[in-house]
Structure 1
Amino acid sequence: MSTGNGETGQLLLLVATRKGAWIYHGDGERQSWRVDGPHFLGHIIHHLVLDPRDGRTLLAAASTGHLGPTIFRSTDFGRTWQEAARPPAFGPAINGLPARAVDHTFWLTPGHVEQPGVWYAGTSPQGLFRSEDGGTNWAPFSCINDDAQYRQWFGTVQDGTPDGPKLHSIIVDPRDAQHLYFAMSGGGVHESLDGGRTFAPLVDGMEVVEGFAVGDVTFHDPHCLRLCPSNPDRLYQQNHCGIYRLDRPGRRWQRIGRNMPAAVGDVGFPLVLHPRDDKRLWVLPMDGSDVWPRTSPGGQPAVYGSGDGGASWQRYDSGLPASQAWWTVKRQAMSGDREESVGLYFGTTSGELWHSRDEGRQWACLARHLPEVYAVETAYPT
């Protein structure tokens, strides 16, 4: 189930879509790109991730017509793929709770550098899973999948995002493999200090939609959670109700999105952090008016960046359409590279892939006519 020659390059863009996956190989200057794909043509690929610990193992979270929700693994950059022997699946019903079935695996995260075979996966409906053999066999992880309190916070399959509630943004503290975070739409942000044996909500300061109880974790809807590579004590969050920053050991989120232009607002899905500066970040706002169009405000897409931790924001739209571009960019569909002048990349639900080589100041379209883009990740192969 693969196409393309699978050669490696200096920078990869891993693009997961509604109808397959593509790998873009960039040259050293990020001026030209060679496309490899499609892989899994016709199948939904929710996330495609390269393991940074070995620089060669790819995992793809897939929904296929005949195999259902599963995970594929490649150790040769997509020349060949092997299906997981045991993909994520909920166990039998216990504690009197209703049985659940995985609709799809939504999020993949490699484990700590000291745990080379470990991967984590988040599913829809909300579930947390772990593999200890590089993605071949998966098992439910932690207590949350069948914990009565968490099941209440999960809500029902009718709640949350239009295509199902999700557990996402699984983060491993690079300093401590026992320190984990994840987020849920809906169901809030959660933290473990004991390697996942227990988790606790981390939602103080986060707002919820008017009319709902801020004290009920069920109604908290983080869209994207990121930990600063240069400062693991700082986290940023793009939420259904704003953009937030959290500085540990504090536990209260600060809504930095209040400093965005009022006409644009601070609602959106993706969020990208600078690899070396914990004060620099970028978001791509969506229209958050009452009917929630989830498209670029006014049909005029722009990336907004902050260089001071969210105290102020600058609009970056040079090269992007000036009007009638009603884009939606999903929470996994924007990423950045590690170059001296950070490259930014995002994909749209209308199948366009855009990039900037200068931290958002100038944009160009890298690809058009792809299927709906679900996720964009950058990676460095070895």
Structure 2
Amino acid sequence: MRFFYLGMKTELLIVKETANSYETTSHLKGMHPNRLAFDPQNEKCVYCTTNGDGLFKSEDGGESWNQIGQEDIHSSKVTAVAVDRNGVVYAGTEPSHLYYSEDIGETWNEFKEIQYLPSKENWRFPPRPETHFVRWITPSISNSNHMGVSIEAGAFIRTEDGGETWKDRPEDSPKDTHTLLAHPESSGRLYSASGDKGYA
């Protein structure tokens, strides 16, 4: 049996495949869900970001949802979420701040070093140049210390030591990475679909 999660403008739809048809239920009504992430250690544990209502978590595959991170994540516009192979959860916001939780979303800390990267002075979202946001978070599949993060727009940044230090965008890397993916059969490689460099 398969499930499909569809983030719509004002709700999250969960479509359940049955023997002869599909069943659809609506969740997070009136909100704007925009990113989903599943815990690889627990397929029933799902995280969903919203544009204005913060971050939500489900522990039953999407049947029920609870808001999390209100005390520690200092923006209601949560724009990216990911979970690494060890169950560490990462969340990005608008404006661009990056957080992590080592206790399945109960408490959060911030990777503050990214605020001092040289490229930050050029981070801006073209339709609203007064702001910018974390677009994509991609933990490594093979190395839990490695992670790539894209900022909309302005940078692809990365860490190779679990967030202790961060490397700013390489000179020839995309500034406008829309999607950043890893593949389990291509260790050490990231795939970027971007607005300024195409697909690499």
Distance 1:82 1:103 in 2: 14
Deviations 1:106-129 (A, max 9, x none): 111012x2x23x100111111111
* Matched residue, 1:72: 56
> Are residue 185 (structure 1) and residue 185 (structure 2) matched?
no
Name the residue aligned to 1:35: 24
Equivalent-residue separation in structure 2 for 1:123 and 1:27 (angstroms): 36
Q: Can you list the C-alpha shifts for 1:38-72, whole angstroms capped at 9, x where unaligned?
A: 11211111223322221101212124xxxx53212
- Following superposition, the deviation at residue 148 of structure 1 comes to 6.0
Q: Which amino acid aligns with 1:182?
A: V
Pick from 14, 33, 36 the counterpart of residue 5 of structure 2: 14
The structure whose Rg is larger is 1
Unaligned ranges ≥5, structure 1: 1-9, 91-101, 208-219, 246-382
Change in 2 beyond 3 A, CA 1:108/1:14: same
Aligned equivalent of 1:23, options 11, 14, 25: 14
Taking CA–CA contacts closer than 8 Å with sequence separation of 6 or more, which of the two structures ends up with the larger relative contact order?
A: 1
2:47 counterpart residue number? 59
How far is the alpha carbon of 1:32 from its aligned partner? Answer: 4.1
SS at structure 1 position matched to 2:188: strand
Which residue is equivalent to 2:96?
126
- Could you say which structure has the higher strand fraction? 2
Instruction: Determine the C-alpha separation between the residues in 1 that align with 2:155 and 2:169.
Output: 7
Task: Output the CA distance in 1 between the equivalents of 2:40 and 2:17.
Answer: 17
Give the AA of the match of 2:22: W
Residues 319-372 of structure 1: CA distance to partner in whole angstroms, max 9, x if unpaired?
xxxxxxxxxxxxxxxxxxxxxxxxxxxxxxxxxxxxxxxxxxxxxxxxxxxxxx
CA distance in structure 1 between the aligned counterparts of 2:117 and 2:138, rounded to whole angstroms = 24
The residue matched to 2:118 in structure 1 has which SS? Answer: helix
Q: 1:62 to 1:233 in 2, by over 3 A?
A: same
2:110 corresponds to: 140
Closer/same/farther in 2, CA of residues 238 and 52 from structure 1, 3 Å limit? same
Q: Which amino acid aligns with 1:107?
A: A
Structure 2 CA distance for aligned equivalents of residues 148 and 231 of structure 1: 28
* Distance in 2 of aligned mates of 1:148 and 1:200: 8
| Aligned-partner Cα distance in 1 for 2:173–2:148 | 16
Secondary structure in structure 2 of the residue aligned to 1:152: helix
Q: Tell me the TM-score normalised to structure 1 length.
A: 0.47
Preserved CA contact (<8 Å) 2:140 2:147: yes
Secondary structure at the residue paired with 2:121? helix
Q: Which runs of 5+ in 2 are unaligned?
A: none
**Using the alignment, how far apart are the partners of 2:56 and 2:143 within structure 1?**
28
Cα-to-partner distance string for 1:257-288 (whole Å, 9 max, x where unaligned): xxxxxxxxxxxxxxxxxxxxxxxxxxxxxxxx
Figure out how many residues of one structure are paired with residues of the other and give that number: 199
TM-score of the superposed pair, with normalisation by structure 2: 0.86
Identity of aligned residues (%): 21
Partner residue, 2:198: 243
Q: What's the CA shift for 1:80?
A: 2.4
Question: Match for residue 257 of structure 1?
Answer: none
Q: Deviating runs (4+, > 6 A) in structure 1?
A: none
In 1, distance between residues paired with 2:76 and 2:62?
24
- CA-atom RMSD, angstroms? 2.5
Q: Distance in 2 between matches of 1:148 and 1:49?
A: 27
